[in-house]
Amino acid sequence: MLEEKEFEQSETQTGRGGVVAKVKLPESMFFAIRTTARQEPNVALMIEVHARSRNLPIHSIIVPPDLRGYIILETVGLHIVYEAIRGLKHVRGRAAGTLRWEDLEKMIKPKPLIEVLQIGEEVEIVAGPFRGMKAKIVDIDRARNEVSLNVLEASYPLTITVPVDYVRPVKKVGGGA
């Protein structure tokens, strides 16, 4: 005799003892695609064209800024991923498993600038009366969202306190000498 338990509709599975249960499947899942490094935007565009021409149900194509060599596809199943990447140049395969939304959110969500800055780091002032000048961070007040700076281009020692939105980290070019 079969008992029927209903959870949410989608796919029906028969477990031990002949119990029939309806298990809800997710509407979409996230899959990682390996690509040639620095070719992620090109591969994403090729997948988009491929998906549109074949009318594939791909919900989103994500190119994470800090994750080199990978693209994330949001779709209903693995078979759609294989169909989308078949025959494309610069695609190196698919990473095993699926990604959870929480993990993906950590990769995409930008970190606040105040958490990235460090004491002693060189920054450029991008707003206010000292705009365009270079400075070095002396102190960081996370509670007030402010940084204290020593202006490097001043003719005398000048320490100012500005909101963190007024500064931008200077990119380091090459090593030190």
pLDDT > 50? residue 77: yes
Question: Tokens at residue 88, please?
Answer: 């494309």
- Does the domain at 29-108 match CATH 3.40.50.170? Answer given as no
171 or 169, which is more confident? 169
The CATH architecture to which 113-169 belongs is Roll (2.30)
Q: Are the CB atoms for 99 and 30 separated by under 8 Å?
A: yes
- In angstroms, what CA-CA distances link 12 with 77, 142, 144? 17, 52, 55
Parse the chain into domains and list their residue ranges: 29-108, 113-169
pLDDT at position 16, please? 59
What is the number of alpha carbons within 13 Å of residue 31 lying toward its C-beta? 21
Pair 109, 71: CB distance under 8 Å: no
Q: How far apart are CA 117 and CA 26, in angstroms?
A: 39
Averaged pLDDT score across all residues of the chain? 85
Helix (H/G/I), strand (E/B), else coil: 116:
helix
3-state secondary structure (DSSP) of residue 103: helix
CB-based contact 84:58 (threshold 8 Å): yes
